[in-house]
Structure 1
Amino acid sequence: MSDAIPVTILSGNLGAGKTTLLNHLLREAGDRDVAVLVNDMGDVNVDADLVADGSELDVDDGVTELSNGCICCELQDDLETAVVRLARDRSFDHLVVESSGISEPAPVARLFTAESRAAALYDVSSLVTVLDTRLFLDAFAGDGTPERRGTDEDGRPLSDLLVDQIEVSNVVLLNKADLCTEAELAEAEELVRALRPDAETIRTEFSAVDPATLLDVDRFDPGAVNEMPGWKQALEDADHGGDGSGAHDDHDDHGHRHPDEVYGVTSFTYRRRRPFHPERLAAFLRDLPDGVVRSKGTLWVAGNDHRQVVGQAGPSVRVEAPSPWIASLPEVERDMYRSNRPDLDWHDEHGDRLTEYVVIGTEIDREAIEAALDDCLVTDAEFEALDDGSFDADGPFPNEPGAEAVIREPTPAPNPSE
């Protein structure tokens, strides 16, 4: 039996109820000896004081404080030092790490799973996300209220972070359930299932949940193939048939997932081997249908030698260019890459250039979205212009390795004081 200490990583949007959950777990821990590490973004770690007050613990006795930064990035070294010190200085049964409301949980989990001092002492048992269910529905269910959306201090929309938190979770708490109707809760469950099919969802009020549900289980498996976000599963499930030679590949329902159409939550994969016109594609991404909750994938943009990886969460759309298409590299490099990747999907004419774009949403019209995307593809005349070098079009898509671009951002919330 392993002597590693189990650790639960807790995340969620600001105000969702994470601190309330921590206090609940500490109060109801029973015979369990639980250590808690909390983090806040302010100069004073308010969460640490709240947890200490709520659990009748001192900050120096069972709650370790990290201030002035995010434990998944700026304070990564401090986090590792803190958890190693905890394990060496105190005896406890379980560690709960609360990341701040603007932290991504995946890098925190990697600290405990990669080769490190912390990984030698701990074993991740689960990643838990707490949602303010009403805010979640407002932000992603199509009838959003822009005044309740915002951006973090670095300018990244919180909708992006919220989706990131859900997509790596093993458990999602639909908190503040008393503020939602039964139909709204059911829709929220289906939205979470579409974003993270393998996560367990639990409805809660004031973050009250049986501690055994979070502390006495081992849900996290970094090597499990089926534990992936919904958009990745949609790509895995998509039909990769078709000859890829025309304006688009044939497609059928193999690329269409049906999580539960009672509440209109569904997804599909758009796959084409023809490039997009950059200006028409940018216009489409800036005006996505309201019901699209999440979309992500690789885009082939005409006149651009780099793969475009798009990520959309609610009102936010961003793209990055992680690397050039292999087909665009000099012949020697191209052949080397192909020899190292025998399973690479390669087309005789277009090489690895390909669009694979997953769309997840509520009450979305697949045929209309696909038709709109098809209208963004280059025409035959534009394709000929690409071949002869006379294609002339501009767009916001990056064309340098690692470069990023913002296509659309949420409408800033109005300031009541103005």
Structure 2
Amino acid sequence: MTDRIPVTVLSGSLGAGKTTLLNHLLSTAGDRDIAVLVNDMGDVNVDADLIAEESEVDVEGVTELSNGCICCELQDDLETAVVRLANERSFDALVVESSGISEPAPVARLFTTESRAAARYHVDALVTVVDTRQFLDAFAGDEAPTRRVDPDAIGGTDVADTERDRPLSDLLVEQIEVSNVVVCNKADLCTDAELEEAVGLVGALQPGAETIVTEFAAIDPDRILGVDLFDESEVGDLPGWKRALEEAQSESSDGTDGTGDDHGDDHHGHGHRHPDEVYGVTSFTYRRRRPFHPDRIAALLGDLPADVVRSKGTLWVAGVDQRQQVGQAGRSVRVEALGPWIASLPPVERDMLRSNRPGLDWDDDHGDRLTEYVAIGTGIDEDAIVDRLDDALVTDEEWDVFAGDGGRGGDSELPVPTEQGDAVALREP
């Protein structure tokens, strides 16, 4: 088999500097022959036009760039486009700008699955460009900016309102969390202290990422091309919250009981982690085998302190047998029902699922029901948040009430989703 073509998947919010970075790469690539696919997923390929203008060459449909590279408007299936590109000409590297996709992982999967594209290409790195000033402002509390949306860039009028209205903080966090390289652009608009804070936050959100600080997206091509940083087996485990959770699970297996009753050890059932103490970025993991009262946990999550930049995890909420996944980025907090706890299923189905998951954390009394929640932030008051979380747990009397009323505790409605796949917003920017 001939060597597969390396692919750099480029993401970043509107105005972060992706097109500027692409044009810089094309003008400084030297002997490299780079093909560029701009995926705007709309009727007008705005970024492709900007690249064409920079290269001063304009051809209908397909734009031939000044260094012999190609920029295509992707109105057809992306896989068909990249395979056709490889068949039509030879080049040294492909850069895919995923303008209309919230994070680079969906594009990366195209090149890592059993597909025609995977036979011709391999992913070299997932690169996210952030407007550093905007990145910091997105977590600045009530004054945080809202997401700027180009309707054509996210698929025009056919895109669901939930995606169109998605908070900027969600987009920024999810792009960073799956990246191998994060380019903190527009550094000239920030102070040295702000740049240090931004680098620290990136390190907390994605500890394995290389962070590069730039002005006007001027970057050495060797820092993002041919770097071989993408590992297909690790793409789902990159986010900092997942790593913190794994560490907490490891600590628990070494003696933390996490019951929520006697709290087990000096950490009171939660683990500490310090991604980068130089910048004041820390995280902790909260684990309990006692459910939350639905009203109290909803109120708490809707009123998290501004210094909690990111939190995520699975919640056990009384009154509903659905596992609740919470995702918080800045002022945005959403909860989704992932599916039933295995312990709530009929015995035959429950035992079958348990036998297929030998590593499942199972409690004799509560089965797999367990809260595991990670919070990451700058200067967070961990003890105060843990105390609030503990206060949101059901009391013994409340637990008996929920259990004795068909699991709903007498509430006609719950503030969390009750059907698998449903989601609710507990707080919006």
TM-score normalized with structure 1 length: 0.91
In the other structure, the counterpart of 2:87 is: 88
Deviation of 1:260 (Å) = 2.0
Hey, what's the Cα distance between the residues in 2 that align with 1:322 and 1:31? 49
Deviation string 1:305-330 (CA, Å, 9 cap, x unpaired) is 11001111111111111210001001
Hey, what's the Cα distance between the residues in 1 that align with 2:141 and 2:165? 23
- Unaligned regions of 5+ residues in structure 2, if any? 65-69, 152-163
Call closer, same or farther: CA 1:251–1:122 in 2, change over 3 Å.
farther
In the other structure, the counterpart of 1:70 is: none
SS in 1 for 2:138: helix
SS in 1 for 2:232: coil
Deviation of 1:249 (Å) = 3.5
Letter paired with 1:191: L
Deviation of 1:90 (Å) = 1.2
- Unaligned regions of 5+ residues in structure 1, if any? 68-76, 411-418
**Contact residue 138 and residue 168 of structure 2 kept, 8 A:** no
Letter paired with 1:192: V
Deviation of 1:266 (Å) = 0.5
Hey, what's the Cα distance between the residues in 2 that align with 1:167 and 1:244? 27
Deviation string 1:124-148 (CA, Å, 9 cap, x unpaired) is 00000000000000112x45623x2
In the other structure, the counterpart of 2:159 is: none
Structure 1 residue 242 corresponds to structure 2 residue 250: no
Hey, what's the Cα distance between the residues in 1 that align with 2:57 and 2:25? 13
Structure 1 residue 165 corresponds to structure 2 residue 175: yes
In the other structure, the counterpart of 1:287 is: 303
Structure 1 residue 137 corresponds to structure 2 residue 136: yes
Hey, what's the Cα distance between the residues in 2 that align with 1:144 and 1:189? 22
Deviation string 1:202-230 (CA, Å, 9 cap, x unpaired) is 00000000001111211001124895110
Pairwise mapping of residues 204-215 of structure 1 onto structure 2 (< 5 A)?
Answer: 204-215=214-225
Structure 1 residue 331 corresponds to structure 2 residue 329: no
Deviation of 1:150 (Å) = 2.6
**Contact residue 151 and residue 157 of structure 1 kept, 8 A:** no
SS in 2 for 1:137: helix
Taking every aligned residue pair, what percent have the same amino acid on both sides? 69
Deviation of 1:269 (Å) = 0.2
Q: Which residue, out of 196, 202, 205, partners 1:192?
A: 202
Deviation of 1:2 (Å) = 5.3
In the other structure, the counterpart of 1:25 is: 25
Deviation string 1:17-69 (CA, Å, 9 cap, x unpaired) is 000000000000100000000123553211101111212443432111125xx
In the other structure, the counterpart of 1:13 is: 13
**Contact residue 178 and residue 236 of structure 2 kept, 8 A:** no
Deviation of 1:245 (Å) = 4.3
Letter paired with 2:79: E
Q: Which residue, out of 180, 184, 196, partners 2:190?
A: 180
Hey, what's the Cα distance between the residues in 1 that align with 2:38 and 2:262? 50
**Contact residue 177 and residue 205 of structure 2 kept, 8 A:** yes
Hey, what's the Cα distance between the residues in 2 that align with 1:251 and 1:99? 46
**Contact residue 204 and residue 281 of structure 2 kept, 8 A:** yes
**Contact residue 295 and residue 359 of structure 1 kept, 8 A:** yes
Deviation string 1:78-102 (CA, Å, 9 cap, x unpaired) is 1111101100001100000001165
Hey, what's the Cα distance between the residues in 2 that align with 1:151 and 1:60? 27
**Contact residue 159 and residue 313 of structure 1 kept, 8 A:** yes
In the other structure, the counterpart of 1:349 is: 365
Deviation of 1:340 (Å) = 1.2
Letter paired with 2:183: L
Structure 1 residue 408 corresponds to structure 2 residue 424: no
Call closer, same or farther: CA 1:23–1:144 in 2, change over 3 Å.
farther
What is the RMSD of the two structures over their aligned residues, measured on CA atoms? 1.9
SS in 1 for 2:246: helix
**Contact residue 137 and residue 144 of structure 1 kept, 8 A:** no
Letter paired with 1:149: T
In the other structure, the counterpart of 1:398 is: 417
Hey, what's the Cα distance between the residues in 1 that align with 2:134 and 2:266? 35
In the other structure, the counterpart of 1:267 is: 283
